[in-house]
Structure 1
Amino acid sequence: MSDERFELSRRNALIGLGTVGAASAGAGLGTSAYFSDEEEFTGNMMTAGELDLAVDYVVHEEQGSAGSYTVNSFTDEVNGTAAGEDLTLDGDGTAMSQTLADVKPGDHGHSYFCVTIDDNPAYVWACGELTGTSENGYTEPEPEDDNGEGELEEEILVDVTYCELNDAGERTSTGETILSGSLREVLGTLQAGVPLDGTGDGDAAAGGQAPFAGTGGDDGANPCLCFDWELPTTVRNGIQGDSLEFDLSFHAIQSRHNDGAQNPCADETYAADYVNPDGIGQPIPDGVARVDVSYGDEAVAYRITFDEPDGSQYSLADPNFASANFSMPFDLDGDGTYDYQVAWNAQGNDAFRYSGVESGPNWEKDTGTGWSAVPSSIAASKSGTQAVIVVPRSDLATGGNGYVFGLSASAGGEQPYVGIPVGGPYSGADNFTSSENGQNATLQ
């Protein structure tokens, strides 16, 4: 397979705004939420797409002396009182909204989502996006952080797990963990796209996940998703006045004639075949690397997938295979020189590291500065054969809408390797800091 580029419209990716994919092949719904410790929590608006995807949900916030708030579509109740309408999201445009005031340390809540696929089985994906952060109406000591961006998304802790609910929307059991971390980290991974597994496997990869059962078969019940969040009591006053907005959406793609690998959260996909030098003793035949790019209002997410045949003896995503590593460089303003790179396993410790470019030019990793910790503004994580790197959109907008990036993965020496674009994003010019061989891209 040659270097390929596939596009999915932004409109199709943001199902939370009421759009869906191809008729009968895809459906979606979404939520918008607004957290604030200043005045209000508005939004959490949910609209459904087509009738072949329905979702029941429970949303609950607990705020100590300020009280609690619950919406339950299983019982069609708001705060225990009949809503007078069917709250299940089934494609008829039903909307749910909620208001939460004064998010404070110690507050917590949960959201449960249970997907029903009408008739035929379907692959289900969860997508998300941090759409805005700000510092509003703060009181001291908030001014100690004057970057204009809120820290609330870094302080709220989130666990996303599979779970089971009873007919009243009460959780009866908790299954495997899908995501865990700060709200910012979780939303970054969701922005890149998370394939959900119909059997509740928390480690299922795209293309290897089980579809969700449809109502027309006898495959049993589907797992639900449970989002548990809390603002720890140890959080200091730096979050006073901070607010954030985010979207969460679900997509269903019929499993018939599909393998589940298509990422409906992505705006663009780049792919390239592995290269196995002649005569090597540890080849990875038929391997393909893919990078799914999802453009958001606040960040851009890159989902990296090493698609290797079942039963492969070796993997470029295995930190114990030879000198396996990968890196993603970025030329933020398209001026011909990379500005920084984020790399995995570069020092053989199964971790992500960061290197900028010094005048000269030279990569910091090749000078006395060496590799550095990944800055807090960048998120990087890896699980199995998939990784996610999330960078601020403002970085990539340094020189306008155009920028350059790439992917280079290898096991070192005479071992398999792959590059996006084909051949790899690095050249020998300017001590390998030149972006002349990188992938040109445009912010969407």
Structure 2
Amino acid sequence: MSEDSKLPLSRRKLLGTAAVIGGAGALGGAATTSLLWDEEKFGNADNPNVLQAGELDLKVDWEGTYYNWIDNPTFSSNDVEDPAVVVEEGPNLVDQPGPIINLQDVKPGDVLEVTQSAHIFGNPAFLGWHYEEHADTDNGITEPEDKVNGHDPDQSDGTEDGDLDEYLQVVIWYDDGDNLPDEVLPDITDGDGNEGDELVIDEEEYVMDVASIQSAADAFGGADPVVYAGNLAGLDGANVRFDARDSNSGAVAEEFPDTACYQNSVTEYIAVLVWLPTDIPGVNDNIVQTDRLEFQFGFDAIQCRHNVGNDGLPMDDTIADADAENNANSPEGGTTTPDPT
């Protein structure tokens, strides 16, 4: 090749030509290039990864006696396996799904004792109890003077509502499950000095002793096993958190020591005494005639995990929200829980 036939190529032009040739080669080989890839999986259809929510289940049983000075009928959660079961001449019970106690003829001197057992299954939990009144009324006029003067039936005695809850006395305490009030009435014996599980109470003497107490707060306030002592009106809207450290039967959760949290798979016994004193202090016994009181009470449980920081308090806010949601979505519907504040 002669010198005249040579094309003047600079270094920049040579690099540019090489780039074009390389690009063409890449394009030309794309149709035959193999695709290389890799994959890692954790779990498959035969051995999948699993996330399962925790479980918390609360079961409640009860057993009680209504001392009416006639036949002292007993009742228990076993009585309401069939919703049609009614305890004759005692508290009428309906399964809905807990006990509904219907006392039609409460008299001064009557005593109601109920031992309730709460069983926690699944996770450790804080345990609580709530009471809410739905109706409190004079339920008619029994005084003829008021009827003649045209007074409102619910103000027949000068008050705006019923008075039964003001005079019904109540004490709630940590029990050992024996349906005996020896924790709060330690002086009760069977005459032979027996105590505890060997104690055999003379029912008539027992009822007379309780019914003669005019003030539960004065008689039982401050005692170690007592959760509440006072009149029934003082419980309205209350949300009580129980404390496993004070229990006579439950146990503190091993995972959450030094807290009020209950170990799962244990039972807590809470006993309740309610009575109308034989001598209502300061007023004529007629003030409670025909009064009607409608209420509900129940146990509450909330898991301890994530609630230990405040030792499960306040239970009322959490439980009230959950209770309102459950009631709204229940088949009955329409039942609301009041603002705990």
Q: TM-score, normalised by structure 1?
A: 0.40
Deviations 1:268-325 (A, max 9, x none): 99xxxxxxxxxxxxxxxxxxxxxxxxx966xx654xxxxxxxxxxxxxxxxxxxxxxx
Pairing 1:52-71 to 2, within 5 Å after superposition: 52-65=57-70, 67-71=71-75
Residue 204 of structure 2: aligned partner: none
What CA distance in whole angstroms lies between the structure 1 residues aligned with 2:276 and 2:301?
32
Verify the 8 A CA contact 1:151 1:239 in the aligned structure 2: yes
With a CA cutoff of 8 Å and minimum separation of 6, indicate the structure with the bigger relative contact order: 2
Letter in 2 for 1:193: N
Letter in 2 for 1:258: N
Letter in 2 for 1:232: P
Pairing 1:297-336 to 2, within 5 Å after superposition: 302=341
Distance 1:96 1:223, change over 3 A: closer
Verify the 8 A CA contact 2:62 2:116 in the aligned structure 1: yes
Distance 1:225 1:209, change over 3 A: farther
Verify the 8 A CA contact 2:119 2:268 in the aligned structure 1: no
1:123 alignment partner, one of 122, 126, 146: 126
What CA distance in whole angstroms lies between the structure 2 residues aligned with 1:301 and 1:214?
27
Letter in 2 for 1:136: N
Residue 317 of structure 2: aligned partner: 266
2:291 alignment partner, one of 193, 218, 242: 242
2:117 alignment partner, one of 104, 108, 114: 114
Q: What displacement does 1:136 show?
A: 1.2
Verify the 8 A CA contact 1:63 1:108 in the aligned structure 2: yes
What CA distance in whole angstroms lies between the structure 2 residues aligned with 1:127 and 1:149?
22
How many residue pairs get matched? 200
What CA distance in whole angstroms lies between the structure 2 residues aligned with 1:141 and 1:199?
54
What CA distance in whole angstroms lies between the structure 1 residues aligned with 2:171 and 2:100?
23
Distance 1:55 1:176, change over 3 A: same
What CA distance in whole angstroms lies between the structure 1 residues aligned with 2:145 and 2:292?
12
SS at match of 2:136: strand
Q: Which runs of 5+ in 1 are unaligned?
A: 1-22, 27-51, 84-91, 216-220, 270-294, 303-444
Determine which structure has more spread, i.e. the larger CA radius of gyration.
Answer: 2
SS at match of 1:238: helix
Pairing 1:95-110 to 2, within 5 Å after superposition: 95-110=98-113
Distance 1:117 1:104, change over 3 A: same
Q: Is 1:257 aligned to 2:262, yes or no? A: no
What CA distance in whole angstroms lies between the structure 2 residues aligned with 1:100 and 1:129?
17
Deviations 1:317-373 (A, max 9, x none): xxxxxxxxxxxxxxxxxxxxxxxxxxxxxxxxxxxxxxxxxxxxxxxxxxxxxxxxx
Distance 1:93 1:242, change over 3 A: closer
Q: CA RMSD in A?
A: 3.6
Letter in 1 for 2:180: R
Verify the 8 A CA contact 2:108 2:279 in the aligned structure 1: yes
Letter in 1 for 2:142: T
Q: What displacement does 1:183 show?
A: 0.4
Distance 1:194 1:96, change over 3 A: closer
Pairing 1:248-397 to 2, within 5 Å after superposition: 248-259=297-308, 260-266=311-317, 302=341
SS at match of 1:244: strand
What CA distance in whole angstroms lies between the structure 1 residues aligned with 2:174 and 2:54?
26
SS at match of 2:133: strand
What CA distance in whole angstroms lies between the structure 1 residues aligned with 2:54 and 2:301?
10
2:180 alignment partner, one of 171, 175, 184: 171
Deviations 1:226-278 (A, max 9, x none): 11011001121111111111121211111123213343423799xxxxxxxxx
Verify the 8 A CA contact 2:54 2:122 in the aligned structure 1: no
Q: What displacement does 1:171 show?
A: 3.3
Distance 1:127 1:70, change over 3 A: same
More helix by share: 2
Q: Which runs of 5+ in 2 are unaligned?
A: 1-52, 86-94, 147-155, 184-223, 249-256, 321-335
Residue 136 of structure 2: aligned partner: 133
Q: TM-score, normalised by structure 2?
A: 0.50
Q: What displacement does 1:101 show?
A: 2.3
What CA distance in whole angstroms lies between the structure 2 residues aligned with 1:257 and 1:201?
23
Verify the 8 A CA contact 2:304 2:312 in the aligned structure 1: no
Distance 1:192 1:95, change over 3 A: closer
Letter in 2 for 1:171: L
Residue 268 of structure 2: aligned partner: 223
Verify the 8 A CA contact 1:197 1:210 in the aligned structure 2: yes
